[in-house]
Structure 1
Amino acid sequence: MSRIDESKEFLPVRIAVLTVSDTRTLDEDKSGQTLVDRITGAGHILADRMILRDERAEIADQLRRWCGDPGIDVVISTGGTGLTGRDVTVEAHRDVYEKEMDAFGTVFTIVSMQKIGTSAVQSRATGGVANGTYLFALPGSPGACRDAWDDILSLQLDYRHRPCNFVEIFPRLDEHKRRK
């Protein structure tokens, strides 16, 4: 069973938040603000935040910039994971991933099913790794952001979480680039 090992020191993670929307401003961005509040409330560092339109190339370019920034460990996007024609966040993430975390979408669906039932099937939440940076694409609702953070990311981004977590393998995410 998972648990927090209180004998270990908490290590803050540097996280960027990207809201994908054709219509929202920062003042109206409830989902992005939900993530910011939870990130900072947990003791992590908000490394950057922005809003981009639903444009695949622009989203992928920004993800790549953040993955190349040594001051950013994790990128969480919200919005654009649905089924409509303008929902291109998942495709943009996959354009950037070196490795996709298939289980993230599965676990998110399990968490969502407990809250919204079969409507969870409409989400295409995804996670992956690129250039030693974790990337997660969440749906654009505050509830989905709360669920993903509270039930998955807050635990996996806590170095004290046992039996394992994302933070403890940060140093090994790009080890393939160091090998000759």
Structure 2
Amino acid sequence: MDLNAWFQKGLTAEEYIHSMTQNKEEMLSIYERFSLSAEDKSKLEALRTQRLRGIVLTEDWCGDALLNNPILMRVAEAAGMELRFVLRDQNLELMDQYLTNGTSRAIPIYIFLNEEGSEVAVWGPRAAEMQALVIERRAALPEKDAEDFQEKQMDIYKQLREQYQKDTAIWQTVANSIIAALLK
């Protein structure tokens, strides 16, 4: 798989944001309010010489992308990394190479490349701590065939979405996870 070609096919951050029809204001709000610590910036500064690039498999309707993409954008700025956004639903050939647990088209997925176009790291769709939180919340749901399952599931997603937009500790958790993947 030619990851350089996929990178070239992707939208710039500006193009992606301009094309967004859902979650745009919420994502930009996190982007505007989140900043990396001096320590994180220093760690990422050291990556600049590697000239890494990132492919962001995403969709604007995705709640996890709403949280993770603006954090990644700040990480990329500090690392001097160019990002390109590739829409999952229009690019299943690429998505199917990065399935979560070998079966799920969960997003966002971040594919980090070196100058030659070789994959150096992959991250997503969630930080481990965020995955644990989602699993914990889902465990409280009634059985899938229960009459109120859909309603309760939507309530959980709404609560998570609100928490994603307000909880700065979550933002730092995501940043820590992405940075750890880059520094491996």
The two structures have a TM-score, normalised by structure 2, of 0.34
Q: Based on CA coordinates, which of the two structures has the bigger radius of gyration?
A: 2
Q: Normalising by the residue count of structure 1, what TM-score does the alignment of the two structures yield?
A: 0.35
